């Protein structure tokens, strides 16, 4: 079984408290249809478990098959550099069918950010090192496609559908409370 080789750190995009008994790490690609299917399920799981769950998103764009994966990830990272990662992340997945320059501009403007700053980030590869770090960490952890999920550091292979992620998370939460 594969384990997470890069521990969750201060540079990660995190929802939920560090004290949560369960950490779910996703390696995702904004243009991946399976990641798009997983997105609303993850939102429901986060609502269900609240402070018992910490969620971490890491980029794993697959540009060979998803030409908008890197520009979408750069958009999320640019917004993240301005304290707006999660709203951008949510908007990218909520409007996955419209990925492209027009959507990126709309997201940035809706968040009150500077479109010129995004264009600068794209043209200078400002976030290339950040993306490379996520990708390299994923590869070292055994990620070979998206979405890839790690629950408390162990790779979790989804078999029947993303809703099944709630079961092992629920068991770990119960175990943490002596249940």
Q: Which CATH number fits domain 13-176: 3.40.30.10, 3.40.50.10140, 3.30.70.20, 3.20.20.140?
A: 3.40.30.10
Q: So what's the pLDDT on residue 179?
A: 73
161: left (phi over 0), alpha (psi -120 to 50) or beta: left
pLDDT tens figures, 108-166: 999 999 999 999 999 999 999 999 999 999 999 999 999 999 999 999 999 999 999 99
Residue-range domain boundaries for the chain: 13-176
The strand ranges marked E within 53-112 are 53-59
Q: Which residues contact residue 91 at a Cβ distance below 8 angstroms, ignoring those fewer than 6 apart?
A: 103, 107, 110
pLDDT tens figures, 77-120: 999 999 999 999 999 999 999 999 999 999 999 999 999 999 99
Is the overall model pTM greater than 0.95, yes or no?
A: yes
- Size of the chain, expressed as the number of residues it contains: 179
């Amino acid at each position: 079984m594969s384990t997470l080789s890069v521990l969750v750190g201060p540079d990660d995009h995190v929802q939920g408290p560090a004290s949560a008994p369960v950490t779910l790490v996703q390696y995702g690609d904004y243009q991946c249809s399976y990641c798009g299917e997983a997105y609303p399920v993850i939102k429901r799981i986060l609502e269900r478990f609240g402070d018992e769950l910490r969620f971490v998103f890491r980029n794993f764009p697959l540009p060979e098959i998803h030409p908008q994966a890197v520009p979408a990830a750069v958009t999320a990272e640019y917004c993240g550099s301005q304290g707006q990662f999660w709203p951008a992340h949510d908007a990218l997945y909520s409007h996955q069918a419209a990925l492209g320059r027009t959507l990126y501009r709309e997201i940035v403007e809706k968040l009150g950010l500077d479109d010129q700053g995004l264009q600068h980030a794209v043209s200078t590869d400002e976030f290339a090192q950040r993306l490379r770090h996520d990708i390299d960490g994923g590869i070292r952890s055994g990620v070979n496609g998206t979405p890839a999920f790690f629950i408390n550091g162990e790779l979790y292979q989804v078999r029947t559908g993303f809703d099944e992620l709630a079961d092992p998370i629920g068991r770990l939460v119960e175990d943490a409370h002596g249940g």
